[in-house]
Chains A and B, each alone.
Chain A
Amino acid sequence: MKILVVDDEDIVLESCQAVLELAGFEVLLVPSADKALEAMKGNEFSLLLVDVKMPKRDGMYLMRKVKEQWPDIPILVMSGYYTTETIKEAIKMGAATFIAKPFEPDELVETIHQIIKREEHHGKKEGPRN
């Protein structure tokens, strides 16, 4: 299971890497939306963990791009600054769910498991397109 984590802050990336690797996931870290799209082309990911607020192109942009090309990859959105509107918008754009920073490590892992389980339950008939 490979997870792509997108955030402009190293500490967040490192935290996620620590927690997710400990939980047995393979993790790829990228600091921007553009880098994320690049990485998507050469890899197959089970899930994207995306920060909303990033300089230049933000998480919303990335989500739009990803949903255009890889509509089946679930996206988990995270943010330190959020409003009801941003959460609603993210869900509308296809985000699986939302997690507020700072989160407990268990909370993150549990959320990701639930999403993946849900995806599997819905049936993974077609593999992720590449």
Chain B
Amino acid sequence: MLYSTRSKLIASFLGVSLLVGAVSLFIGGQLLYKAVFSEATNRIRLDLNAAREIYLTRINSVKVSLNITTLGDEFRLELKRYDAPKLVNRLRRMAQHAELDFAGIVTGEGKTLCRIGTNPVPIEESQPVNPIANLALKRGVPVSGTVVLSREFLSAENPDLANRARIQLVPTRRAAPREAKEEASGMALAAAIPVLDGDDLLGVLYGGILLNRSTTMVDRVRDTVFQQEIYKGRSIGTATIFFNDLRISTNVLTPDGNRAIGTRVSREVKEQVLTEGKMWTDRAFVVSDWYITAYEPLVDIFGERVGMLYVGVLEAKYADMRGKALTVLVLIIMAGMALAIGLGYLLADKIMSPVRRLIKASQRVSEGNLSPQIGPISKDEIGVLQNTFKDMIVSLEERDKRRREESENRLLQSEKQASIGRLAAGVAHEINNPLTGILTFTRLLLRRRDIEDKSRSYLQKIAESTVRVRKIVKGLLDFSRQTELDREPTELNRLVGSTISLMENQALVRGVGIAFEPGENLPVVTLDRGQFQGVLINIIINALDATETGGNITVSTGISLSASDTGRKGVEISIADTGCGIPPEDLDKLFDPFFTTKEVGEGTGLGLAVSYGIVQRHGGTIRVQSEVGRGSAFTIWLPVEELSERRKNTGC
């Protein structure tokens, strides 16, 4: 019982903390996710800006290096002279310094004069289109930016470049369908500078970097923007340059650890960035992982969207951050729950300990210890319970004491009776023999005729006294005799009625009225009719003796519960007179043997004691109520045995 109360308390504490925990975990998780995600998105936007700066700076560096070359006087001189071998040498040095993949000079007519590739001075008539040089020629101003280069142009420039540019398309989930199996064109950062001599156009110097399979740009972006941050063995930041939707330069890795060149972007990104020209920032599944990404379109020198620039950070890092925060939250909740258990335990203990003490105390009480410890009184409802318990113990104790006193009294009474009985027995035996002598010889003497009158009257007195002694001894013997009760089922009203009719003559003689008020539906009582009638006669005679002429005696019967025997069912016979009454100081001596208020010679003082003994042996009690000058009422209570009930029910 105790444990279940404790468990209930702990369970409710736990329930509350679990509920609160679950709700805060859910809401906290959501909030955390949003916060982390928006933080990551903001960062990736900034990172994309940085990447674009690097991209543009690189274009600018190509342009600057070309520009510086065109400014040299020797260059102009060699160009005027069309001194191809020297120009090629110069271009090669420039390309080496500026890390250019291709460079060359186009004449004002658009013919390639020379270049740094394997075929430095072309002699063919038909030459592939050089888009950037042509644009510079056409506009007459320096041009720089992103440009798409055909396979023909690349292979004319340098077959190695054409090979580098060729990329096999890797089938990619979620990408837009594309028929071609490979991409042969290249995308490059390039610049073209018209070289002027006064107003005369000497030619156009062009040069650039092929982005296909290039690693420098994207790795620089990764290294500068993400500072080579490594998360779980992988670079957290990635950068990619797309040609159309194809990864041509990237440091996103495939699961086997290679750069994911040849894979393509998902259809949604392609549509939003390439088709619609918008920026994309969201989480996206890149090759094999979830990234928080940003894409923006790359526009070539003609204003066409030809590719995309991408940066992304591994979502795992942010997810783990969120995971860590959630773990902390879960730990806090668990700590809260542990606290709830502990608190519940302590609280249950605090609440239950007085209750437990009360339980122990009531066990003590049931074992008979009526002064158990119940500990300090609480100030709450349990305190009320404790006080009630205390009151209960006090009244139990009082009842116990009362009962003990009653039974002690009863014991004393019966001991008194027993010792009187023993005394009476001895006395009777010892006295009756000499009495026999006294009575016999007195009587024999009285028979003689020769005795003078005075002596005769003396002898007469001896005889009378002896008879009186005989009567007293007989009374004593009656009193001491613990004869077995000869019980039989009896109709009480009939017994009382017949006893009263026995007494009616005596009452008539004394001028005292005697009335019987029989109770109705009395149960049958089992009693010793003879002895019980003796009791009734004794009490009625006492009543007659106490009542003056003209007084009344009322005998009544009825059903009653015992006053002392906790409500046991029984019957009552009440004998009430209007006599002289009994003084209070005599009331408690009333049933003592030899107590009498009658004149010497009239009573032995044993009648009521004997009556009391008889009633007691029937399991009953005699109660007396009396008021001096108004009368007394003797009430005999007898228990009703189950047997008699049964007999009554079966009609016996």
Contact = CB atoms under 8 A, between A and B. Distances in A.
B433 A19 contact: no
A102 B474 CA distance: 10
Contact of A102 (B425, B429, B430, B436): B436
B477 A105 contact: no
A14 B434 CA distance: 11
B444 A19 contact: yes
A38 interface: no
Interface string B430-456: 111111111111011000000000000
B561 interface: no
A102 B443 contact: no
Interface residues of A, number: 24
A118 B433 CA distance: 28
A18 B425 contact: no
Nearest to A17: B440
A2 interface: no
B470 interface: yes
B428 A105 contact: no
B481 interface: yes
B444 to A, nearest CB: 6
Contacts of B481: 83-84
B427 to A, nearest CB: 9
Given A19-B444, A81-B477, A83-B481, A102 B428 contact: no
Contacts of B430: 80
A82 B477 CA distance: 8
Nearest to B486: A84
B429 A80 contact: yes
Contacts of B425: 81
Nearest to A85: B483
Given A14-B437, A18-B440, A84 B483 contact: yes
Interface in B450-481: 466, 470, 474, 477, 481
Interface in B362-394: none
Interface in A19-57: 19, 22, 53
A11 B439 contact: no
A105 to B, nearest CB: 5
Interface in B470-498: 470, 474, 477, 481, 483
A103 interface: yes
B433 A11 contact: yes
B355 to A, nearest CB: 61
The interface centre, meaning the residue of A14, A53, A100 with most chain B CB atoms within 10 A of its CB, is A100
A15 B439 CA distance: 9
A15 B428 CA distance: 18
A81 B429 contact: yes
Contact of B444 (A9, A22, A100, A102): A22
B372 to A, nearest CB: 51
Contacts of A12: 433, 436-437
Interface of B: 425, 428-441, 443-444, 466, 470, 474, 477, 481, 483
10 contacts: A12-B437, A14-B437, A15-B440, A15-B441, A80-B430, A80-B433, A83-B483, A85-B483, A102-B436, A105-B439
